[in-house]
Structure 1
Amino acid sequence: MDKAFDVVYKLLKWASKVTGLTYHEINIIVYFIIIPVIFIILIDRIFKTHKLKIGFGIILLITLLSISDFKLFSTIIFNKSVAFLKWFSIIGLNYIQASVIICVIIPVIILGILFYKSKKRK
């Protein structure tokens, strides 16, 4: 688990360096925008609709327009996410284990299922 965490951490740090955004900003963009958008695109493909994409786009636009300081917003949301992941210690998972399970393994499984269903649906 430590290796998976380290790979993802280094990838996000690299993206931060390349874009000039902070690590917190990149983290929020990836986990709260990019990954959900991919899921929504696949779900819409499965159901042959555009409703979720349109709805998420509207919500995202309103949210982004209402945030005056994205750097501060990202730090606050990142810290809340860390607190959430640390909460899993009550079932015996440390921060790194919870991060890999919640932020890597579960999204990959969901992506695999959605991708399979979207291809099967064609």
Structure 2
Amino acid sequence: MDHIFQVVYKTLKWISEISGLTYHEVNIIVYYMVVPTLFIFLISKILKAKSLLIGFIIFQLFVVFVIPDFEKFATTLFEGSVNFLNSFSQVGLNYVQASVVICVIIPTTILAALMYWNKKITRN
């Protein structure tokens, strides 16, 4: 799990360096915007409901424009996420393990299921 954590961490750090955004901003954009948008995109294809995706994107744009200081917002949300992941120590997972399970394994599993479902529906 340490290796997976390091790969994800270094990738997000690299994105922050080339984009000029902070690590916290990149983390929040990826996990709170990009990943959910990908899920909603696939769900909207499965349900044949383009308005779901359009509505979600409009909501995200609204939130981004309403937030006066995205860097501060991202840092606060990131700290809350760290606290959430640290709370898994109650079930025997440290921060790194919880990060990999919650931020990599579960989203990857959901993505694979949605892609499978989408492909199955597209064939029919």
TM-score relative to the length of structure 1 = 0.98
CA RMSD of aligned residues (A): 0.7
Alpha-carbon offset, residue 78 of structure 1: 0.3
Secondary structure, counterpart of 1:5 in structure 2: helix
Structure 1 residue 52 displacement after superposition: 1.7
Q: How far did 1:57 drift?
A: 1.4
Identity %: 55
Partner of 1:17: 17
The offset of 1:92, in angstroms, is 0.6
Q: Provide runs of 4+ in structure 1 moved above 2 Å.
A: none
Tell me which residue corresponds to 2:102: 102
Counterpart in 1 of 2:36?
36
**What SS class does the counterpart of residue 93 from structure 1 fall into?**
coil
Residue ranges of structure 1 left out of the alignment (5+ in a row): none
Number of residue equivalences: 122
Question: What residue is the counterpart of 1:61 in the other structure?
Answer: 61
Given the alignment of the two structures, is residue 77 of structure 1 paired with residue 77 of structure 2, yes or no? yes
CA-to-partner distance for each residue in 1:64-115, whole Å, 9 max, x for gaps?
1110111100000000000000000110100000000000000000000000
Partners of 1:94 and 1:51 in 2: CA distance: 40
Which AA in structure 2 matches 1:76? T
Do structure 1's residue 2 and structure 2's residue 39 form an aligned pair? Answer: no
Q: Which runs of 5+ in 2 are unaligned?
A: none
SS state at 1:26 partner: helix
Deviation at 1:59, TM superposition (A): 1.4
